[in-house]
């Protein structure tokens, strides 16, 4: 069922209003703690009125949690980008251009900057960490496993490695390009795992293609 032009216009207005409120809150959080930010602060910077805020949220914390949800959804899509359409893939066949996680970080640079500098609730970093672990454990199967390796501990190691790279990149004020970061992650991955073969649990079997699980 197609939406009418008026419904589409309404959806766009709601989206634009929400994006303005989110950008405003993140900007305020770069200046002072969340508890010191008022709804009036947020709506004034967003050039909206309080009634618009209360159409969508009750508290500023609701707005912040929706920001986290947006980031997590985009993180999942970026993480899966290299392998979502492939069934089997080998580390040695990987291409850095397929790695989108650093493009995701750059797109959400305000959020990650606040996260790294401890201006986000600690539970937000924990949620990102747990999301990365879950993606690795649920999405892919190592079909050339080393019996000495504990997969759950490896997932923890990899999640910490990715978050560590993101943290270092943010702390450098994004000194490197997202392309360079992807290339470095690929090289780090190849150092000890060049002979590994993975199977994506997302894509149907249709031949052997390169991809990446990080």
Which tens digit of pLDDT belongs to each residue from 34-51?
999 999 999 999 999 999
Q: What is the pLDDT of residues 164-208, one digit of tens each?
A: 999 999 999 999 999 999 999 988 888 766 566 667 788 666 545
pLDDT for residue 139 is more than 80: yes
CA 194 remoteness from chain centre:
25
Paired residues of 89 in beta bridges: 198
Q: Given the DSSP bridges, would you call strands 88-90 and 140-142 parallel, antiparallel or unpaired?
A: unpaired
Kindly give, in sequence order, each residue whose CB lies less than 8 Å from that of residue 213, ignoring residues fewer than 6 positions away. Answer: 82, 83, 89, 136, 139, 140, 198, 200
Q: Count Cβ atoms below 10 Å from residue 13 Cβ, excluding itself.
A: 11
């Amino acid at each position: 069922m197609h939406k009418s032009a008026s419904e589409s216009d309404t959806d766009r207005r709601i989206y634009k209003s929400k994006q303005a409120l989110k950008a405003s809150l993140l900007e305020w959080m770069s200046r002072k703690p969340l508890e010191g930010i008022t709804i009036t602060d947020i709506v004034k910077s967003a050039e909206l009125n309080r009634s618009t805020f209360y159409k969508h949220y009750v508290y500023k914390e609701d707005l912040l949690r929706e920001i986290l949800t947006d980031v997590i959804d985009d993180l999942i899509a970026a993480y899966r980008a290299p392998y979502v359409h492939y069934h089997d893939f080998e580390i040695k066949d990987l291409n850095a251009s397929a790695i989108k996680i650093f493009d995701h970080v750059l797109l959400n640079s305000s959020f990650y900057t606040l996260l790294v500098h401890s201006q986000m609730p600690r539970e937000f970093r924990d949620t990102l960490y747990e999301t990365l672990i879950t993606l690795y454990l649920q999405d892919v199967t190592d079909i050339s496993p080393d019996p000495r390796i504990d997969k759950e501990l490896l997932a923890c190691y990899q999640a910490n490695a990715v978050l560590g790279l993101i943290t270092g990149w943010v702390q450098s004020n994004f000194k490197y390009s997202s392309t360079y970061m992807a290339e470095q992650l690929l090289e780090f991955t190849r150092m000890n795992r060049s002979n590994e073969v993975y199977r994506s649990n997302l894509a149907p079997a249709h031949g052997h293609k390169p991809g990446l699980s990080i």
